[in-house]
Structure 1
Amino acid sequence: MSQIRIVLVDDDKLVCSSLNIILSSQPDLKVIGTGYNGLEAISLYESLNPDILLMDIRMEQMSGLQAGEEILSKFPSARILYLTTFLDDEYIIKALNIGAKGYMLKQDFDSIVPALRAVFIGQNVYGNEIVSKLPTLLSPSPDISIYQRHGITDKEFCIIELIAEGKSNKEMAGELFLSDGTIRNYISIILEKLELRDRTQIAIFYYKHR
């Protein structure tokens, strides 16, 4: 079985140790390096080329966001998953803007392993608390041109907006007077046009282009 190679970076050594134990107990996960600040994160990423960098945000010498921005400028395909205790709006927006693959709270302990697996296969992962904050974080005017370039129709854009509002297929069907099957078809077409994998990515795409 191939393993997902992970570098851990957190200024709390107890957190690093605990995460190392938890992740190493999974047969498909392997911790290949551990660091305690942003400078070490950069060095470890460059020397080890991990599949995923699991990193805290507030750290001494250099923050996780500063390190992530530098890493992604050099390695655009880097998969960075932030794991923090902070729900600060500016941190979430910065993580989105630099291209992080996820932003999780340490309180969501049971979600860490599934989040790593999801990031590894190309999904973006944001905890429920983060997704629920997105509508209030970003500016209200969507960049319509990006959708036009992808061939998104007015109806499809309407469905994208409803997905971003957290509407279920049933709720959208009722609101648009369509069947559940038609809604599912629309979502499949939207995913294909935008080259996305799931509903969460559609919502994130919407709020990133506002």
Structure 2
Amino acid sequence: MNQIKVLVADDQPVFCEGLAALLKLELDIKVVACAVNGSDAIKLAEMHRPDIVLMDLRMPEVGGLSATRIIKAKFPDIKIVMLTTFFDDEYIAESVKIGASGYLLKDADTDQIIRGIRDCYAGQLLLPASFQAMLADHLVTSYESVPLSVLPDIAGDTLTRTEEEMLHLLLAGKKNKEIAEDLYLSVGTVKNYLSQLYKKLNVRSRREAMALLKNR
């Protein structure tokens, strides 16, 4: 049996350890570690390469959104589910925009959390249907550039979520340093991403890439 490797990130040790103990009772779920803040979650995600990270939305030092952005940029195959005390549509929309697979309420029944982990592992988005429609509108209006659906048609290869977001920032006129700050990456990493993007778009420079996208 393939076990779903789960990393739990929450700044409340009692909650984190209690949830981990309950999840360990499931034969198909393996808790690889517990993180106490976003910085810890990033390090442990790199160390254990979990299938899913249960990420508290609000944590000290590095928050859940920032940690999600960094983990998805480095390890796009890791699925991240936000843990929140109450539903906040703006925070949840932002987390999904940067790559999260949805959210679970921290006071949900254990069975609901376990079902959510399995559904997420199977590729489902953990969001109510009513919110998914609102989310689509939020994502469309959050960028004044080409829609995501156009990008794969332009590129010879399918673009990753980070590459898509980087292209939107590029079209917004942001420089490498600004893109690095927005995506929590180093300037060197941004340059490497852009180099790969130019190859996929079959262009040689930022100017050619912007001209190609704006003419679509």
- The one-letter code sitting in structure 1 at the alignment partner of 2:13 is K
> CA offset at residue 120 of structure 1?
1.1
The alignment covers a number of residue pairs equal to: 150
Normalised TM-score (structure 1): 0.62
Give the gaps of 5 or more residues in structure 2.
154-216
Distance 1:136 1:76, change over 3 A: closer
- The one-letter code sitting in structure 2 at the alignment partner of 1:101 is S
* Conserved 8 A contact 1:92-1:130: no
Distance 1:145 1:116, change over 3 A: closer
| Partners of 2:39 and 2:61 in 1: CA distance | 7
Matched, 1:95 2:95: yes
Normalised TM-score (structure 2): 0.61
Of 61-70 and 85-94, deviating more is: 85-94
Q: Which residue of 1 aligns with 2:67?
A: 67
| Partners of 1:9 and 1:26 in 2: CA distance | 19
* Conserved 8 A contact 1:89-1:137: no
- The one-letter code sitting in structure 2 at the alignment partner of 1:29 is I
Q: Which residue of 2 aligns with 1:157?
A: none
RMSD of aligned Cα (Å): 2.8
SS at match of 1:104: strand
* Conserved 8 A contact 2:97-2:139: no
Give the gaps of 5 or more residues in structure 1.
151-210
- The one-letter code sitting in structure 2 at the alignment partner of 1:24 is K
Q: Which residue of 2 aligns with 1:146?
A: 149
Of 35-44 and 81-90, deviating more is: 81-90
Q: Which residue of 1 aligns with 2:2?
A: 2
> CA offset at residue 136 of structure 1?
7.5
Q: Which residue of 1 aligns with 2:193?
A: none
Distance 1:10 1:137, change over 3 A: same
* Per-residue CA distance 1:21-69 (angstroms, 9 max, x = gap): 1101111111110111000000000011011111101000011110000
| Partners of 2:28 and 2:18 in 1: CA distance | 17
- The one-letter code sitting in structure 1 at the alignment partner of 2:88 is D
Of 132-141 and 77-86, deviating more is: 132-141
> CA offset at residue 108 of structure 1?
2.6
| Partners of 1:59 and 1:145 in 2: CA distance | 30
Please show how residues 187-198 of structure 1 align to structure 2 within 5 Å.
none
Please show how residues 14-93 of structure 1 align to structure 2 within 5 Å.
14-93=14-93
